[in-house]
Amino acid sequence: MGYATSDEYEFTFVTSTEELITEFQKSRRGPDSVEDDAIGGLFVHESTNFTGPPEKANVKTIHEGVKKAHLKILTREIENSNTMSEGKTAAETALERISIYPNRYAMSSHYVILTDGSLQRARPIDKPRSQVSYPRFNKTAVQITFLSGGKKPNTKMFETYDRFLKAWFTVFPDCGVYGNNESRPSDPPNTFDVRQSIKSKYRFVYRYDDLSDLDEFPTKVERVITKPKTIAKTSSTITKPISFAEANQQVTDLVESKRFNNDVTSIFNKAGAAMASLNGEDMNAAAAKFGAENLPKNDLKAQFDKDYKTFQSGMKERNKELNNIIGKVNTNNSTVKSFENKITENRST
C-alpha cells in the first residue's frame, strides 16, 4: 500500500454483504485474532472537499493524491528541520525515508463508499491504519470513508453504509462505530451523528462514552476480563477447594474400597430377597441365594395379601354406601309422570 503499491494494482469492489462478512471473518486482525492490532472499532470518515462521479472520485485517485500529499508534507518537515541526508535534497531525503516504511505513507481507509453507492476496497484490512496519519487508533481500527465532499452522504451511499454495518455487527458485535474526529480531533465532525444513529438503529450499547483516554482499543482478552471492584477473600470457615486430580483420586479410592463394594453388594442382595418374598418363593432358597441376613424381617407376601384383603373389604363397604345413596335418587316412569303433572299444576296457578 502507498509507495509499495504498484501502478498496476487493482482496487476491487465489494459485491455483497456475505462477501464482506467472509472477508471480516478471515482477516488476520479478525474476530479470532489475539494480536495487539486485532480489530476493536470502526471509524467513519467523510472527505472534506474531494468528491465527484465514480470515474473520477475513486480509491485509485485517492491513492495517488495521498502519496503526493505525504511526500509534500515530509519534504517540508525535512526542509524546516534542515535534516537532509548528505548530498541529497529534502525531496530525495523524503523519498528515502518513505522507502523504509512505505505502508506508513499511504491512505488509511480500508473501504470507500463512492457517490454512486459502490463500496471499493482501499487499504487491505489486514494492515492497520497509517501511524503517520493517525498517532492514535492506528493499530486496532478499521476505517470507512464517504467521498461526500463535506456534504451529507446521499441515499445510495447510506444504503451501502447500512449493508456494511450489517456485516460489521455480524462479525464484530461488541466493536463500536465512531466518528473519525474521535480518533483525530483535528478532523471536522461528521455531517451526521454517528454514535446516535448506531444506538437508534442497532440498539448498540457503547462501552466507551469518550475515547479521549484511550490510544487504542483494548484487545479481545482485555475486553472480556474486567477487574472486579471488590476482590473476594478466602474464609477460614470454608473448606479449602481441592484440585481435580485430588477429587479424581478420592473417587477412585472410594470405588475401589472394600466398604463401598460391600455396601453395593448388600443393597442388591436385600432387593433380591425382598422380590423373592413378594413372589412367594421358598425362604430357605432365598436365604441360600441372597444370604439370611438380607431376608426381610416379616413375610412380605403375607403382609401384602393381608393388606389387599383389607382393601377389598373396605371397597365393598364403600360400594354399598354408594349404591344406597344412588338408590335414594333412582326413579321410574310413574314418579317422573307425577313430577311432570305437579310442575304443570304449579304453572297454571
- Which CATH number fits the domain that encloses residue 21? 3.40.80.10
Domain C-terminal end among 161, 192, 224:
224
Higher pLDDT, 54 or 323: 54
Which of 63, 50, 67, 78 is CA-nearest to residue 10? 63
Considering the domain architecture, whether residues 190 and 260 belong to the same structural domain is answered as: no
Question: Tens digits of per-residue pLDDT, 168-216?
Answer: 999 999 999 999 999 999 999 999 999 999 999 999 999 999 999 999 9
The residue among 293, 301, 254, 255 whose CA lies nearest residue 277 is 301
The pLDDT of residue 284 is 80
Q: How many CA atoms lie within 13 A of 98 on its CB side?
A: 24
Type of residue at 199: K
2 pLDDT above the threshold of 70: no
Same domain, 8 and 153: yes
Same domain, 25 and 155: yes
Residue 230 counted as domain residue: no
Q: Is residue 235 part of a domain?
A: no
Across the range 40-68, mean pLDDT stands at 95
Helix boundaries (H) for 42-154: 59-81, 90-100
- DSSP conformation class of 135: S
Residue 234 in domain:
no
61 inside domain: yes
Buried b (16+ CB within 10 A) or exposed e, 293-306: ebbbeeebbeeeee
* Residue 321, pLDDT score: 64
Shared domain for 251 and 195, answered yes or no, is: no
234 — pLDDT class (breaks 50, 70, 90): very low
Same domain, 19 and 103: yes
Q: Evaluate whether residue 236 is within a structural domain.
A: no
Q: Are residues 217 and 283 in the same domain?
A: no
Calpha distance 54→187 (Å, rounded): 24
Look-up of cell digits 479481545: 220
Helix, strand or coil, per DSSP, at residue 66: helix
The pTM for the full model equals 0.63
Within-domain flag for 153: yes
Structural domain tally of the chain?
2
| pLDDT tens-digit readout, 290-310 | 777 777 766 666 766 776 676
Q: Per-residue pLDDT averaged across 93-97, rounded? A: 93
Report whether pLDDT(155) > 90. Answer: yes
DSSP secondary structure letters along 221-242: HHHH----SS-----TTSPPP-
Q: Which of 53-57, 76-80, 226-230, 336-340 has the lowest mean pLDDT?
A: 226-230
> Based on the domain organization, do 76 and 160 belong to the same domain?
yes
The pLDDT of residue 135: 94
Q: Does the residue 169 lie in any domain? A: yes
- Whether residue 80 is contained in a domain is answered as yes
Please give the Cα distance from 18 to 25 (Å, whole number). 11
Q: With H, G, I as helix, E, B as strand and everything else as coil, classify residue 34.
A: coil
Grid cell listed for 301 = 407376601
Residues 193 and 267 in one domain: no
pLDDT above 80 for 166: yes
Q: Are residues 278 and 188 in the same domain?
A: no
Domain with 215 in it: 2-224
Q: How far, in Å, CA of 24 to CA of 30, rounded?
A: 6
Characterize 152-171 residue by residue with b for buried, 16 or more Cβ atoms within 10 angstroms of its Cβ, and e for exposed: ebeeebbebbebbbebbbeb
Same structural domain, 127 and 262: no
CA–CA dist 184, 200 (Å, integer): 25
Is the domain of 76 the same as that of 144? yes
Within this chain, do residues 259 and 215 fall inside the same structural domain, yes or no? Answer: no
pLDDT at residue 288, as a whole number: 80
